Structure 1
Amino acid sequence: MYLTVEQRRIDTWHNKINCPGSHLRVGLAWGGNPENVPGQSHTCGLNAMVPLARIPGVTFYSLKKDATVSAANTPPPGMRLVDLTAEIADFADTAALIMNLDLVIAVDTAVAHLAGVLGKPVWTLLTAAGEWRWLLARNDTPWYPTMRLFRQTTPGDWSGVVAAVEQELRALLSATAK
């Protein structure tokens, strides 16, 4: 953990995310900043997350805060997606929200890095194009011990990445339910 968050902020966000009937609280960031041209290639879109909607006992929390956040208002059928992003004033609020989650699933964005520096479990979805930060052919990273990498095998195809995430999320849910 490289970064800490004020306990007062964590407590405030804890009160906001109370969601009975949920076994796992998972933050989602499905796209990069649309103003950032490289960030556009990191965007998979919320509709790519349809397989995750089929997993019972998971409540998802939107961590996507920008002009395209309206997608959170129409999540895939069956997905329990809570959007509190209108209440996020700054990165300290985002960090406090993340500290109340069990897991963050994010494309390669600031949200993924923030979860990593906070020491929270984070699954980062990567494009097929290699980048020095993520090294080659690894599913972990020396930068963030709690981060797991899920890589595209075909450029632009998020279906295999999301299928792998779905399988692992089901396994995690099964392990936590015991």
Structure 2
Amino acid sequence: MPFAAWSPFSEVANTEWFSLQKGAARNQLSQPGCALKPHDLTDDIHDFADTAALIKQLDLVISVDTSVAHLAGALGKPVWVFLPASYDWRWMLDRDDSPWYSGMRLFKQTTLGDWAEPVARAKAALMGNEP
């Protein structure tokens, strides 16, 4: 999921965004094209225990299917996960929740490569404007 796809979240009032993204993908934070400007916490992350400690301080984790999403789920944190249209078996068909993590909500692509639609659904949910 390209970082620019997260831009609509910049329009959500009264929110602060934090990035836990490590590795090469962290470089996306400084690239133009995304209106969302999260606080980069990665300098404070030295191991997975640091990641867990930071997650515990957040109200909600929004992620793609990564170890951060699974850790948030295992910690019992509310976590929303974006999944591509071709997701794997563990996310099951016709569900927007997970039997593995009670606080997890899934936002699946309905069209391969189109992140605008699941992002719009998540943004509406975050703003309390779900249909």
Please say whether Structure 1 and Structure 2 have the same fold, judged by a TM-score greater than 0.5: yes
Match for residue 55 of structure 2?
Answer: 98
- 5 Å matches for 1:122-141? 122-141=79-98
- Letter of the 1:160 partner, please give it: E
Equivalent residue in structure 2 for 1:114, among 42, 49, 71: 71
Shift of 1:73: 3.0
User: Which structure has more RCO (C-alpha within 8 Å, separation ≥ 6)?
Assistant: 1
State whether residues 125 and 161 of structure 1, in contact with CA within 8 Å, keep that contact through their aligned partners in structure 2. yes
Q: Is 2:58 the partner of 1:88? A: no
Shift of 1:80: 4.3
RMSD between superposed Cα atoms in Å = 1.5
- Give the structure-1-normalised TM-score: 0.68
- Indicate the percent of aligned positions where both proteins have the same amino acid: 50
CA deviation digits over 1:86-118, x for unaligned, max 9?
A: 120011100100000000000111111010000
- Structure 1 CA distance, aligned partners of 2:17 and 2:31? 13
The structure-2 alpha-carbon separation of the partners of 1:86 and 1:126, relative to structure 1 and needing over 3 Å to count, comes to same
CA deviation digits over 1:94-143, x for unaligned, max 9?
A: 01000000000001111110100000000010111142111111011110
Unaligned runs of 5+ in 2: none
Runs of 4+ that moved beyond 6 A = none
Unaligned runs of 5+ in 1: 1-43, 173-178
- Structure 1 CA distance, aligned partners of 2:25 and 2:56? 24
- Structure 1 CA distance, aligned partners of 2:29 and 2:37? 10
Match for residue 62 of structure 1?
Answer: 19
State whether residues 48 and 159 of structure 1, in contact with CA within 8 Å, keep that contact through their aligned partners in structure 2. yes
The structure-2 alpha-carbon separation of the partners of 1:58 and 1:132, relative to structure 1 and needing over 3 Å to count, comes to same
Q: Is 2:103 the partner of 1:146? A: yes
What is the total number of aligned residue pairs between the two structures? 128
Q: Is 2:130 the partner of 1:158? A: no
- Letter of the 2:75 partner, please give it: L
Larger radius of gyration: 1
State whether residues 73 and 83 of structure 1, in contact with CA within 8 Å, keep that contact through their aligned partners in structure 2. no
**Which secondary structure state, in structure 2, belongs to the residue aligned with residue 58 of structure 1?**
coil
- Letter of the 1:53 partner, please give it: S
- Structure 1 CA distance, aligned partners of 2:43 and 2:101? 28
Match for residue 14 of structure 1?
Answer: none
